[in-house]
A = this chain, B = another copy of it.
């Protein structure tokens, strides 16, 4: 990414929002960067997952926050919820096209964190 591109993004962030309070993009940013939102989106990046799988994939998440975060992401149109009316019931979660697009921007960031976590926490 060139410097001129960086500047233009920053300028648009200032005028259109994000850095401005009360801007709708703040809400989206909060959802996307929420503690569990990122991890769930990443966990869904490869394939659709069932409730119990997500609960195991994302270690440490409580059932309450799992349900709450999934509902938020579903409401944002990032995650698709599909119920199969069987006994026992089966519910699959998957990324929507919008969610897939978002995750493609998210994974480079996660990869960076993975590679640099040691540098950050070591000193």
- By a beta-carbon cutoff of 8 Å, the part of chain A in contact with chain B is 1, 5-7, 9-10, 12-14, 16-22, 24-25, 27-35, 38-39, 42-43, 45-46, 57-60, 76-78, 98, 101-114, 116-121, 123
CA distance A116 to B107 in the complex (A): 18
Pick from B18, B28, B57, B118: contact of A14, CB below 8 A.
Answer: B57
Least CB distance, A44 to chain B, in whole angstroms: 10
Instruction: Give this chain's copy count.
Output: 2
Q: Across the interface, do B98 and A102 meet the contact criterion of CB distance under 8 Å?
A: no
Least CB distance, A112 to chain B, in whole angstroms: 5
Q: Which B residues touch A35, using CB under 8 A?
A: 30, 33
Q: Across the interface, do B1 and A123 meet the contact criterion of CB distance under 8 Å?
A: no
Q: Across the interface, do B45 and A6 meet the contact criterion of CB distance under 8 Å?
A: yes
CA distance A106 to B105 in the complex (A): 8
Q: Which B residues touch A9, using CB under 8 A?
A: 45, 107, 110-111, 114
Pick from B28, B46, B113, B114: contact of A113, CB below 8 A.
Answer: B28
Q: Which B residues touch A114, using CB under 8 A?
A: 9, 12-13, 16-18, 25
